[in-house]
Amino acid sequence: MNFIDSGLLFGFSVVLLDFLAWRFFRLKNEVARVGIRTLLFIALSYVLWKYDLSPLHVAPWVGNPVRHIFAQGLELLWWLQAAQIGSFVLGRVVLSPELHRERLFQDILRAIVFMIAAVAAVAYVLELPIGGLLATSGALAIILGLALQSTLSDVFSGVVLNATQPFHLGDTVTIGDIQGEVIERNWRATTLLNGQGNFVVVPNSAASKANIVNESRPPQMHGLSITIRISPRVRPARVIAALTDAIESTIGVLDTPKAVISAHLMHPKFIEYEILAYVASIATRSATQNEILDQAYRHLNAHGVELGHPPIDGLPPNHSERLLRGIDMFRALSDAQFSELAKELEHEEFSAGEMIYQAGPDCPDERRALYIVATGVAALLTPFEGNDIELRRLSPGDAVGRAGILTGVSKGIKLRAISKVAIARLGKDAITPILQQHPEVAKAMLASLIAYQTRESEVLSELPTPAVETSGIFARLLAGMRRLHGMPNQ
Residue 29 confidence (pLDDT): 66
Residue 327 confidence (pLDDT): 82
Q: Is 270 helix (H, G, I), strand (E, B) or coil?
A: coil
Categorize the per-residue pLDDT at 1 as very low, low, confident or very high, splitting at 50, 70 and 90: very low
Residue 293 confidence (pLDDT): 93
Categorize the per-residue pLDDT at 304 as very low, low, confident or very high, splitting at 50, 70 and 90: confident
Categorize the per-residue pLDDT at 462 as very low, low, confident or very high, splitting at 50, 70 and 90: very low
- 416 within 8 A of 354, measured Cβ to Cβ: yes
Rounded average pLDDT over 284-302: 91
The burial class, CB within 10 Å (0-12 / 13-18 / 19+), for 211 is exposed
Categorize the per-residue pLDDT at 403 as very low, low, confident or very high, splitting at 50, 70 and 90: confident
- 344-393: pLDDT as tens digits: 999 999 999 999 988 776 777 777 888 999 999 999 888 777 788 888 88
Check residues 222 and 230 and name the one with the higher pLDDT. 230
Cα distances from 426 to residues 25, 351, 407, 423, in angstroms, run 77, 20, 14, 10
Residue 399 confidence (pLDDT): 86
Residue 323 confidence (pLDDT): 87
Give domain 222-302's CATH number out of 3.60.15.10, 3.30.70.100, 3.90.550.10, 3.40.50.300. Answer: 3.30.70.100
Check residues 13 and 278 and name the one with the higher pLDDT. 278
DSSP string, 107-172: HHHHHHHHHHHHHHHIIIII---HHHHHHHHHHHHHHHHHHTHHHHHHHHHHHHHHHH-S--TT-E
**Alpha-helical segments (H) within 391-431:** 402-407
Domain definitions of the chain by residue range: 3-147, 166-214, 222-302, 319-485
Residue 115 confidence (pLDDT): 81
Residue 480 confidence (pLDDT): 72
**Four-residue CA torsion sign, 317, 319, 322, 323:** negative
Categorize the per-residue pLDDT at 418 as very low, low, confident or very high, splitting at 50, 70 and 90: very high
Residues pairing with 350 in the sheet: 421
Segment among 9-13, 368-372, 432-436, 453-457 with least mean pLDDT: 453-457
Q: What are the φ/ψ torsions at residue 397 (nearest 5 degrees)?
A: 100, -20
Categorize the per-residue pLDDT at 222 as very low, low, confident or very high, splitting at 50, 70 and 90: confident
Categorize the per-residue pLDDT at 133 as very low, low, confident or very high, splitting at 50, 70 and 90: low
- 341 within 8 A of 333, measured Cβ to Cβ: yes
With 50 as the cut, is the pLDDT of residue 3 above it?
Answer: no
Percent pLDDT > 70 in the chain is 78
Q: Single out the residue of 239, 254, 328, 251 nearest to residue 291, CA to CA.
A: 251
Return the top range by mean pLDDT from 108-112, 113-117, 470-474: 113-117
With 50 as the cut, is the pLDDT of residue 464 above it?
Answer: no
With 80 as the cut, is the pLDDT of residue 128 above it?
Answer: no
Rounded average pLDDT over 400-419: 82
Residue 455 confidence (pLDDT): 61
Rounded average pLDDT over 302-308: 78
Categorize the per-residue pLDDT at 99 as very low, low, confident or very high, splitting at 50, 70 and 90: low
Question: How far apart are the C-alpha atoms of 412 and 380, rounded to whole Å?
Answer: 11
Residue 350 confidence (pLDDT): 94
The answer, yes or no, to whether the previous bond of 257 is cis (omega within 30 of 0) is yes
Return the top range by mean pLDDT from 165-179, 210-224, 306-320, 434-448: 165-179
Tell me how crowded residue 397 is: count the other CB atoms within 10 A of its CB. Answer: 17
Specify the pTM.
0.56
Categorize the per-residue pLDDT at 132 as very low, low, confident or very high, splitting at 50, 70 and 90: low
Q: What are the φ/ψ torsions at residue 395 (nearest 5 degrees)?
A: -110, 175
Question: How far apart are the C-alpha atoms of 81 and 34, rounded to whole Å?
Answer: 11
Rounded average pLDDT over 35-46: 79
Which 8-state DSSP code applies to residue 359? E
Q: What are the φ/ψ torsions at residue 121 (nearest 5 degrees)?
A: -65, -40
With 60 as the cut, is the pLDDT of residue 139 above it?
Answer: no
Q: Which CATH class is domain 319-485?
A: mainly beta
Residue 103 confidence (pLDDT): 63
- 327 within 8 A of 373, measured Cβ to Cβ: no
With 50 as the cut, is the pLDDT of residue 2 above it?
Answer: no
Mean pLDDT (the chain, rounded)? 78
Q: Single out the residue of 269, 278, 288, 287 nearest to residue 229, CA to CA.
A: 269
- For domain 166-214, is the CATH number 2.30.30.60? yes
Rounded average pLDDT over 115-139: 68
Query: Exposure pattern of 342-353 as b/e (b: 16+ CB <10 Å)?
Result: beebeeeebeee
- 450-461: pLDDT as tens digits: 776 666 554 444
Check residues 456 and 82 and name the one with the higher pLDDT. 82
**Strand bridging mode 178-185 / 189-193:** antiparallel
Categorize the per-residue pLDDT at 131 as very low, low, confident or very high, splitting at 50, 70 and 90: low
Residues pairing with 230 in the sheet: 271
